A and B are shown apart, each in its own frame.
Chain A
Amino acid sequence: MTTGPPIRLKLDAASANYQPGERLTGRFLVESTSPVSVRAAELSVLWYTAGKGEEDMAVHHFERLVDDAAMPLDLRVPHRFATVLPASPLSYDGRIVKVCWCVRLRLFMPQGQEAVSELPFRLGEVATADDGQHEESTGPAAAHD
């Protein structure tokens, strides 16, 4: 499923922390000296949930590059991508709900195999549930009879 050529997926920014409305740019290529045969390549900027619940996912930016006779797909040459990040959902590391952002590259090989590479990044500055957001339970103890 995930066997394939070595993929290099890189963001231009030095840090993987972005703010809503910021422009995310990067490039991807396959590190190989000989030509790599790939039917198609899909690049997505997406968020997904992790944790206790079933996974939800939404794609913010999607590009599909197809290998055809008129325009052969040579992944040894760097391909650039760019998108403006949305206002939400922000990255979140909660107790049972986590929101993760990533850039995902999926290559479709001629034999039906797929190779996937993923580069996580953070959107926004939300604290994790266990450090920033805690229970301030001053009320009930004082209020209960």
Chain B
Amino acid sequence: MPSRLRLFVKKRGTRRTGARWPGMLGEAVLFLGLIAIGAYGLYWLIGGVLLAEGSRHGWWPWLAIVIPIALVGYGLMGLVLLLWQNVASSERRAAVVQKATEWELPVGPGKAGRISLPAVPPVDAVMDSPGVRLAYRLPIDAASGWVSFTMAAVCLVWNSLVAIFVYRVIQQHIEGRPNWLLTWLMVPFVLAGVWTLVALARQLALEIVIGTTRVEVSHHPLYPGGTFQGFVSQTGRLHVRWFQVQLVCEEQAVYQQGTDTRRATSRVYRATLFSQRKFDIRPQQAFDADFTFSVPASAMHSFVSGHNGVIWTLVVRGRMARWGEFERRFPVYVYPARSLDTPLRESFIARAGKTL
């Protein structure tokens, strides 16, 4: 059926129900418009100010010239990109990108001779940190640190703003001309500020009281069908109600919904590797435990691309008396089993060398 012009089309992320050409035309007009405005701005600044007024114009035209240059540059880049997208197929563009970045080589020796696979995250972050009991100490997922940082930032900004208004309100009361409407309006804002302070204090106390969690593994990268040794160590002064170590695999997908970018997560595998109930951890004696775990033989390897991923993690979680639940995540990398097979690996590396 021939496509016809429709004013309203449904857009689902980058997929759309309408024809592509009106959008491309619109983009081309926009970029040409930016180039035209930038060119006119340059003409006016150079011809009408810089050359016409001699040295009387001062320094401002030199600063202002950045704006039309930016418009012309942005427009030209957009136009070239648009032309390239329409002249070349998506496969040809991907092939050019691959050639330029050498990202998609079958396999190549990574840092210190480590294996490096397409669309599989590198293991350098884990292998650079030796363990005390086992070969590798796993780095903690940075997300938990960001929670404290974000809470601290929100608390600081919110309470600083509230403090300015509270100071003003108190000053009015001292001067004998109170503004009661503003005073009562401030109450919920002050309460919210107190709540952010309490939440931050609790988060920091949780970080301090629970202490350090250390996880080590005997091998890295892991591979499907393999059995590995693990070790967990927990410090602090705690009465533990339950404590677990789990191996978890999650799929992650980033997608557009309207103008929002959203992330969906689906847990596809979870196995409890270690579990213990009701015990105490004392500051002098860390809680240590060994465990053995396997990755299922038919499991998907770790995978990462622009918007999609398969993430494997060792999760330490527990519930402490008075402090509630906590969870700490330690990413691990599962490589395809055959990529660790020595003859195949050597043949790949030799072929990659020839390609280069």
Contact A49 B307 (CB under 8 A): yes
- The verdict on B299 contacting chain A, using a C-beta distance below 8 Å, is yes
- Chain B residues 99 to 144 lying within 8 A of chain A, measured CB to CB, are 103-104, 106-107, 117-120
Please determine whether B94 and A90 come into contact, CB atoms closer than 8 angstroms: no
A55 to B307, CA, bound (A): 7
Query: Is B300 an interface residue when CB atoms closer than 8 A count as contact?
Result: yes
Query: Are the CB atoms of B299 and A127 closer together than 8 Å?
Result: yes
Q: Does A143 contact B (CB under 8 A)?
A: yes
A residues less than 8 Å from B242 (CB atoms):
143-145
Q: How far is the CA of A142 from the CA of B348 in the complex (A)?
A: 46
Known A54-B13, A133-B296, A143-B242; contact A106-B89, beta-carbon cutoff 8 A: yes
A1: min CB distance to chain B, Å: 9
> Which residue on B lies nearest to A83, using beta carbons?
B106
What is the minimal beta-carbon distance from B296 to any residue of chain A, in angstroms?
Answer: 6
**Would A89 and B119 count as touching, CB distance under 8 A?**
yes
Taken residue by residue from 78 to 103, chain B's Cβ proximity to chain A (1 for < 8 Å, 0 otherwise) reads as 00000000000111101100100001
Cα A143 to Cα B316 in complex, Å, equals 13
Nearest CB of chain B from residue A61's CB, rounded to whole Å:
9
Closest chain-A Cβ to B331's Cβ sits at a distance in Å of: 17
A104–B91 CB distance below 8 A: yes
Once A97-B253, A106-B89 are accepted as A-B contacts, the answer to whether A56 and B305 lie under 8 Å apart by CB is yes
Let me know if A96 and B251 touch, CB within 8 A. Answer: yes
Q: Kindly report which residue of chain A lies nearest to residue B242, judged by CB atoms.
A: A143
Task: Point out the residues of chain A lying under 8 angstroms from B305, CB to CB.
Answer: 49, 56, 58, 89
A125 contacts B by Cβ under 8 Å: yes
Inter-chain contacts of A19 with B (CB < 8 A)? 338
A97→B309 contact, CB < 8 A: yes
| Interfacial chain B residues near A86, Cβ < 8 Å | 104, 106-107, 117-118, 348
Contact A95 B107 (CB under 8 A): no
Task: For B13, give the chain A residue with the smallest CB separation.
Answer: A54
Chain A min CB distance to B97 (Å): 8
Within 8 A of A (CB), among B295-338: 296, 298-301, 303, 305-310, 319, 335-336, 338
Q: Which of A98-136 contact B (CB under 8 A)?
A: 99, 104, 106, 114, 124-127, 129, 132-136
B193 → A minimal CB distance (Å)? 34
Kindly state whether residue B168 has any CB partner on chain A within 8 Å.
Answer: no
A21-B91 CB under 8 A given contacts A52-B264, A87-B107, A140-B244: no
Across-interface contacts of A134 in B (CB, < 8 A):
268-269
Distance in angstroms between the alpha carbons of A93 and B146 in the assembled complex? 32
Are B272 and A139 in contact, CB atoms less than 8 angstroms apart?
yes
| 223-261 of chain B: CB within 8 A of chain A | 241-244, 246, 249, 251-256
Question: Contacts A44-B94, A89-B305, A90-B301 given; 11 further ones with Cβ under 8 A?
Answer: A49-B307, A55-B14, A58-B94, A59-B98, A60-B118, A87-B106, A87-B348, A89-B303, A134-B269, A135-B267, A145-B241
The 4 closest A-B pairs by CB, nearest first: A139-B272, A53-B253, A127-B298, A143-B242
